[in-house]
Chains A and B, each alone.
Chain A
Amino acid sequence: MKIAGHEWDLASLGNHVWRGRIAAAELLAFAQSVKDEGGQLVALWGSDDRQLFPLSPGGRGAGGEGAGFAIHAAFITAAGLAWVSAELLADTPAYPDLAVIFPQADRMQRATHDLLGIQAEGAVDGRKWLRHGAWPEGSFPLRKDFDAEVVRELDAYPFIRVEGDGPHEIPVGPIHAGTIEPGHFRFSIIGDRVLKLEQRLGYTHKGIEKRFEGMDLATGAKLAGRVSGDSHSAYAWAYCMAVETATGYEVPERALWLRALFLEIERVANHLGDLGYLGNDVALSFGFMQFWRLKEELLRLSGRLFGHRYLFDRIIPGGAAVDLTDGSELLALAGRLEAEVRELKAIYDEHPTLQDRMANTGIVAPALAARLGLTGLAGRASAQAWDARVQFPQTPYDRLDVGMSTHRRGDVLARAEVRFAEVVESLRLIRAIVQGIPAGAIAVPVRVPDKVTEGIGWVEGWRGEILVAVRIGADGKLDRVHPHDPSWQNWPLLEVGILGNIVPDFPLINKSFNLSYSGQDL
C-alpha cells in the first residue's frame, strides 16, 4: 500500500480496510506519511498479548503480536482505513508519542496507559485520563493478570491554571444541571469571556473493554451497542462487521440493507432531537416541541415495525434480527417528516434571535479542525469533507450515492445546517432502502472459529465514524474488543470552540457538538 509516495506493507482486508504490522520505531514515519497525504488518526488502543503464542505474522487475522503487548492505530487514508499494529516488550512496553503529529492521540495515549500500562515515550501530557480513584496507579485493568480487587485512592488531578489578576475559575460538574451525561468542565474566565476551558472526563468509565473479555459473540453485539446508546446501530454494525471480517462469513445482502435502514433511522432521530434542543437553548421552546414531536413519531414507528424504539439488538452477528415486512408506513412518515422539517427550517432561517445566537458562536475554523482532527458531523461543518458512506461506501451505500453536506463557517449555525441537510438526505436514503431492498434471508448462522482471529468494523454513525476492533480467541470467545467513538477526537475541539465566547453560550455550543461521554469513557 502506497501512502504519500512511501510503500508500506499492508494487505487489503476488503471493504476499504488495510492491515499491517510494523515495528514500533516505524510508527512515527507511518503517521507522518498519512499526515502528508492529508489523512487523519482515527483511533489508538493497546492489547495484552502475553498469553498468545506467536503465530505466523502473514496469516489472515492471526494474532501474531508475539509474547508482549501491542499498540494499534487506525488511520483514514486516501485508500481507506489503515490499521497497523506494533509489538511492544513485555517488561517495558513503550512506543513513540504520536501526538506530535496527530494531537488527537493525546487522550487516547493517556487512556491506553491507564488501562494497560503502555507508555507513549516523550509525550508532553503524562496525566492520567480514565483512571480517577477506582484503581491504583501501577495496576492496569486490561492486563490479563489484573487483580480485580477494589482499592480506592483519593483522586487528585492537576488542572492547568490561568494565573494573574482578574481571571477566576468556574468548576462545573460532574453532575450537570440538565439531563446530560456527567463530566467536569473547568472554566477560567474574565468577566463573561472564557479564557480557557479544560475538560475532565472518564466519570462514566464502567469497564466496558474488560467486560468484553470472554464474552460470546452474540452477547458482544449487545454490549457494543451499549457503548453509547444513542449510536446503538452504528456500534452494533461496526462490531458485527469486525466479527464478520475475523471469521470470514458472508452476511446476506438483505441484512446489510436492513442495517443501513436502522443506521439512517438512528441518524434522523438524533438529528431531530438535537435540532429541537438547539432551538430550546436559544429560548425557542417552540422548536424543541416541534422537533421532539417529530422524533417521537419516528421512535413509535420504529417500535411498531421493529420491536424497539431505538432499534436495540436488531443488528446481530450474521445479519439482522428483524425483517421489514411492510415499508409503506415508513415511506409515508419519511415523506411527511421531510415536508415538516423543511417548514421548520424556514422558521429557523428567519428567526432573528436564533440566527443571532448561533451565527459566529463557537467557531472552529477549518485549518484548526484539520490540524486537530475534528471529525464526523462537526468536522463536516468545519470543511473536513469525510463521510465513510461517501468516500468508502460499503453495501448498500455503494448503490445509494450518498450526498455529503459540508460547511466552511464552523460555528453553531453551520453544525445546525449540516444536521438539517443530513436529515433530508437520510430521509431520502430511508425511502431508497425501503424501495430497493433485495429479497432473501436476513441472517446466517455464525461459525465460531477455532483459532485466534481478528477483524475491524467501521461505520459512519450520526456523530462520526464508529470503529470497533475485535480479536476472537481460539475458544471462540472475545479476547479483546476496542470500541472507538468520534467523541475522542471532538471533545478537545470543544475546548477550543468556546474560547473568547461568553459562558452563557456554553450550553448552546456544547449541544451543537453533542458529544458522547459514555462512548469515550468506556
Chain B
Amino acid sequence: MATHLILQKIFKTGIVSEPMPEADPSLRTRMQELQADLLKVFGRALAIRHVDAGSCNGCELEIHAINGPQYNIEGMGIKFAASPRHVDVLLVTGPVSRNLETALKRTYDATPEPKWVVAMGDCGCNGGIFGESYASCGKISNVIPVDVEVPGCPPDPVTLLKGILAAVSGGR
C-alpha cells in the first residue's frame, strides 16, 4: 500500500535540511529606507513573488532548488506566494525583455510597501550575455528600483539565499 511505502521512505530518508546561510550585506545596492523597528516586526516571515522578466530559465532552476528539502526555506519562514499583492520581496530574473517591461512595472506597482526587489543572476544585475538590444532593456534596475543584486549564472542556492536575506535584514 502506498501510505505504508511513503512512511517507510520518509523514515529511511530522515531529515536532510541544512542550516540557513547568513545574510550577505555586501550584495546590497541601495540604502534601506526601512526603520529598524519595522524590521523587528517583520522578523523572518517573508513572502516572495518570483517574476521572470525574460530569463533563459536557468535562474528558475535554482529558485526551484531552494524549495527542495536540503534548503528548507519554509522552515526559515520564507515562502513563495502567487500574487504580488501578498508579498514583501520581488525576486526578478533575466534581462527585462521589452515584451515584459510593462508587466514587470505593473507587478512592481501591485506590490504593497514596504517592498524589496532582488535582482537575480548576471542578466538581472547587468543584462548578462543578452545585454541591451531592440528586444531587451538589459538589467532589472533599468526598469524598476532594485535593492539587492545577486550575481552568478545562475547564482547557486546559498548565494541566492544570502541575497534574499540581505535584502530584508537591513543594517542588522
Chain A positions near chain B (C-beta within 8 angstroms)? 132-135, 141, 146, 148, 150, 152, 174-175, 177-182, 202-208, 210-211, 219, 222-223, 226-230, 232, 273, 286, 289-290, 292-293, 295-296, 299, 303, 309-310, 312, 343-344, 346-347, 350-352, 516-518, 521
Contacts and interface: CB of A to CB of B under 8 A. Distances in A.
B68 A296 contact: yes
Given A181-B55, A229-B61, A347-B9, A211 B131 contact: yes
B134 A141 contact: yes
A310 B13 contact: no
Given A210-B134, A226-B56, A289-B69, 11 more contacts: A134-B97, A150-B134, A180-B52, A181-B55, A204-B97, A210-B133, A273-B61, A286-B10, A289-B68, A295-B68, A350-B1
Given A206-B133, A347-B6, A351-B2, A273 B64 contact: yes
B154 to A, nearest CB: 7
Contacts of B51: 175
Nearest to A155: B99
A312 B58 contact: yes
Contact of A150 (B64, B98, B99): B98
B95 interface: yes
Which 7 A-B pairs give the minimum distances between C-beta atoms? A229-B58, A207-B135, A292-B68, A134-B98, A177-B82, A229-B56, A207-B133
B47 interface: no
A296 B60 CA distance: 14
5 contacts: A134-B98, A135-B135, A175-B51, A175-B107, A181-B55
B68 A293 contact: yes
Contacts of A132: 98-99
B2 A352 contact: yes
Interface string B43-58: 0000000111111111
Contacts of B2: 347, 350-352
A286 B4 CA distance: 13
Contacts of B38: none
Given A177-B83, A286-B6, A204 B99 contact: yes
Nearest to A208: B130
Contacts of A174: 100, 103
B136 interface: yes
B65 interface: yes
A182 B52 contact: yes
B133 to A, nearest CB: 4
B24 interface: no
Contact of A204 (B54, B64, B83, B107): B54
Contact of A179 (B63, B70, B134, B136): B63
B59 interface: yes
A290 B9 contact: yes
Interface centre among A202, A207, A210, A303 (most CB of B within 10 A): A207
Nearest to A201: B99
A293 B69 contact: yes
Contact of A292 (B58, B65, B107, B153): B65
Secondary structure of the A contact surface, majority rule: loop
A352 B128 CA distance: 46
A347 B8 CA distance: 11
B64 A296 contact: no
A410 B80 CA distance: 32
A293 B59 CA distance: 18
A207 B134 contact: yes
Nearest to B91: A179
Given A175-B103, A232-B58, A296-B68, A347 B5 contact: yes
A146 B134 CA distance: 10
A324 B80 CA distance: 37
A312 B6 CA distance: 35
Contacts of A175: 51-52, 84, 103, 107
B97 A310 contact: no
Nearest to B128: A226
B94 to A, nearest CB: 7
Contacts of A141: 134-135
Nearest to A222: B129
B142 interface: no
Contacts of A150: 98, 134
A310 B56 CA distance: 13
A206 B95 contact: yes
B134 A182 contact: no
B15 to A, nearest CB: 11
B97 A299 contact: no
A211 B107 contact: no
B148 to A, nearest CB: 18
Interface string B83-111: 11000000000110111100100010000
A516 B2 CA distance: 33
A129 B163 CA distance: 36
A518 B97 CA distance: 11
A134 B130 contact: no
Contact of B99 (A134, A178, A232): A134
Contacts of B83: 177
Contacts of A292: 64-65, 67-69
A234 to B, nearest CB: 13
Given A177-B82, A179-B64, A182-B103, A204 B58 contact: no
A223 B64 CA distance: 23
A134 B54 CA distance: 14
B16 interface: yes
A463 B64 CA distance: 18
B6 to A, nearest CB: 6
A181 B6 contact: no
A229 B97 contact: no
B103 to A, nearest CB: 5
Contact of A203 (B65, B68, B70, B97): B97
Interface centre among A152, A180, A202, A289 (most CB of B within 10 A): A289
A181 B57 contact: yes
Nearest to B60: A179
Contacts of B10: 286
B97 A206 contact: yes
Contact of A310 (B55, B103, B154): B154
B65 A229 contact: no
Nearest to A284: B6
